[in-house]
Chains A and B, each alone.
Chain A
Amino acid sequence: MEKKRKKLWVAWILVFPVLLVRGFTTIYPIIMTFINSTYDMSLLKGSDFQFVGFSNYVRIFSGPKLVTSIQFTAIFTIVSMAFHLVLGIMLALMLNMKFKGKKFLRTIVLIPWAMPMVVAGLAARWAFNDTYGLINDLIRRFNESFHCDWLVQSGTARGAVIAVDLWKDLPFFAILVLAALQFISGDIYEAAKIDGAGPVRAFFSITLPNIMKTVLSLSIFFTMWRLTSFDVVYAMTSGGPGDSTTLVAYRIMQEAFTNLNLGYASAIAVCLFLVMAVLSTLQLKAIQKFD
């Protein structure tokens, strides 16, 4: 017993550096964010901070800029996730196909995943340019008189941002679904084939139930990442035109580092964090129900 306790002491020493670094960079600042959210900390007004209780939170829903942000973040997350689920599973099925091009396909899908979002976003800023962009150039090969300045109108700009997000992250989602697909044994499909089930029937009664749990838990992570997306908008639209593509994460950073409204920024951050906590709990519940 004495020896075992001594050993546990060794374990904590080994764990200490990791805990120190993570604690220092996440636990302390998250507590501070909660505290700051109840103060009027506008650095431009001076450094005499007033305790204001929940008034920063009240301001969240009265500011039209933030309402636009919340709206777009919701659209962005829902639309992007819908496509992730449908196209992501389709791409995963493709990655699982047995044919000579398997290695080629698996290699190229890694490129968007590994490419920094800032590179993809900046390239997209130019690709969606009316005159010189890649997208319109391709369209003009079929319809010569086509003109559209995608990032200047809010509707098309929002669509373009979602498209780039999908281009970059869908392959990653598909690779993770592929991991689940590989666990389904080929025998089940053979048996189904003998019983006369076609490929569509086999997909809905064998494949989908088998990967559902993985897909749902992946959805938690991918939803959270959508809710906190920052890079894509920073590189591609700077939140514009107007504020139409200003995701909440981008708004928080603007308030915190540009407008220096620390209290207000913290209040938005806390709300976002709570929304994430609620959403992931709900999704976890859904997964448990599935078992």
Chain B
Amino acid sequence: MKANTKRKLSSIFKWTLTIVVAFVILLPVYWIFISSITPSNELFSSPIKYIPEHPTLDNYIRIFTRMNLGEKIMNTAIITLFALLVSTVICLMGAYAFTRYRSTGLSIAYGAIVGSALIPGIVTARPLYDLFKQFGLVDTFPGLIILYTSALIPFTMLILGNFLGEIPISLDEAAEVDGANMRQKLFMVTLPLMRPAIATILIINFITCLNDLFTPLFFSQKIEVLSVAITTIPRETSYSMPWDLISTVGWVILLPIIIFILIFEKQIMEGIMAGGVKQ
């Protein structure tokens, strides 16, 4: 009886804490959502109605027709897709070399690549901008894709390097004995084993790309991605900021992210922790 009461109390305690955390995290997200479906004239009123009386998709229609949000989604998609593809391929090549070959030079190169994550963007931004300008890369898709790819490299290299390091070389050698050539070894032995690591890295990098504000803000004016688009919404009313449209664009960005989290919670958790433990 006593043990039972104790267990009940402990369960109540755990759920209370969970509800507090859930409230702090979810309420702002929910508030952004209801703001996006509340008619503008009701939005700028106090107190806040947490259950909208006249829900409407008006704001969504407005951002797609007047703000041309479709184009911005396309820009984001193109840059993200290519950055994910290029970073994964070149990091796989690099990780393969770093784990299958040994030399002092290679160790230094690996350390430099992973360690360069600590060099902040603000220190490199201006000279990089001038360099990109010389090459005509500012405000172009290739330029942005190079920058996004570069930003993804250190973490991707760390995770893929760790994972590849754990796949025994003896598997490679066994395949070699069986007469497999380089291409067969790569595509039939190593890559299939890498699948979970690649999936994790793609999911996390996708979120990183959507999060990046710094790069597109300073390296492009004409090509607008979602994270920049949300800051350049013109004021249509006399209120200090167009919260009706900002909340709507905000939710357009949040929806895919939340869906992703709901589907891939486990992989994301494991990916983050894998990066954390082994730094």
Which residues of A are at the interface with B, using a C-beta cutoff of 8 A? 7-8, 10-12, 14-15, 17-19, 21-22, 24-30, 32-33, 36, 91, 94, 97, 99, 101, 103-120, 122-123, 125-127, 129, 131-132, 134, 137, 140-141, 167, 171-172, 175-176, 178-180, 182-183, 214, 217-218, 221, 224, 227-228, 230-231, 234-235, 249, 252-253, 256-257, 262, 265-266, 269-270, 272-273, 276, 280
Report whether A175 and B46 are in contact in the complex, using a CB–CB cutoff of 8 Å.
no
Chain A proximity mask over B36-52: 1 for CB below 8 Å, otherwise 0: 00000001111110000
Report whether A127 and B31 are in contact in the complex, using a CB–CB cutoff of 8 Å.
yes
Report whether B273 and A33 are in contact in the complex, using a CB–CB cutoff of 8 Å.
no
**A-B CB contact pairs (8 Å), 19 listed:** A8-B101, A15-B106, A19-B94, A21-B146, A22-B112, A26-B124, A26-B150, A32-B130, A107-B262, A119-B230, A126-B243, A132-B43, A132-B44, A132-B243, A134-B27, A230-B121, A235-B231, A256-B125, A280-B118
Alpha-carbon separation in the docked complex, A178 to B275 (Å): 12
Contact (A176, B146) CB under 8 Å given A29-B124, A36-B127: no
The reply to whether the CB of B109 lies closer than 8 angstroms to some CB of chain A is yes
Chain A residues contacting B138 (CB-CB under 8 Å) are none
Contact (A22, B116) CB under 8 Å given A109-B25, A123-B32: yes
Report whether B214 and A231 are in contact in the complex, using a CB–CB cutoff of 8 Å.
yes
Q: With A36-B126, A112-B25 given, can you name 13 additional A-B contacts, CB distance below 8 Å?
A: A21-B153, A28-B131, A29-B126, A111-B29, A116-B210, A123-B246, A126-B241, A137-B46, A167-B25, A214-B276, A257-B126, A265-B126, A276-B120
Report whether A116 and B253 are in contact in the complex, using a CB–CB cutoff of 8 Å.
yes
Report whether B262 and A11 are in contact in the complex, using a CB–CB cutoff of 8 Å.
no
Chain B residues contacting A227 (CB-CB under 8 Å) are 120
Chain B residues contacting A21 (CB-CB under 8 Å) are 90, 146, 149-150, 153
Chain A residues contacting B105 (CB-CB under 8 Å) are 12
Q: For the complex formed, measure the closest distance between the CB of A127 and the CB atoms of chain B, giving whole angstroms.
A: 7
Q: How large is the interface on B (under 10, 10 to 19, 20 to 34, 35 or more residues)?
A: 35 or more
Contact (A175, B272) CB under 8 Å given A106-B265, A140-B47: yes
Report whether A30 and B119 are in contact in the complex, using a CB–CB cutoff of 8 Å.
yes
Report whether A230 and B122 are in contact in the complex, using a CB–CB cutoff of 8 Å.
yes
Most interface-central of A8, A104, A108, A221 (chain B CB within 10 A):
A108
Alpha-carbon separation in the docked complex, A230 to B210 (Å): 16
Contact (A115, B146) CB under 8 Å given A17-B94, A101-B15: no
B:224-279 near A, CB below 8 Å: 227, 230-231, 240-241, 243, 246-247, 250, 253-254, 257-258, 260-262, 265, 268-269, 272-274, 276-277, 279
Chain B residues contacting A118 (CB-CB under 8 Å) are 213, 227, 230-231
Chain A residues contacting B272 (CB-CB under 8 Å) are 113, 172, 175-176, 179
B:58-109 near A, CB below 8 Å: 90-91, 93-94, 96-98, 100-101, 103, 105-106, 109
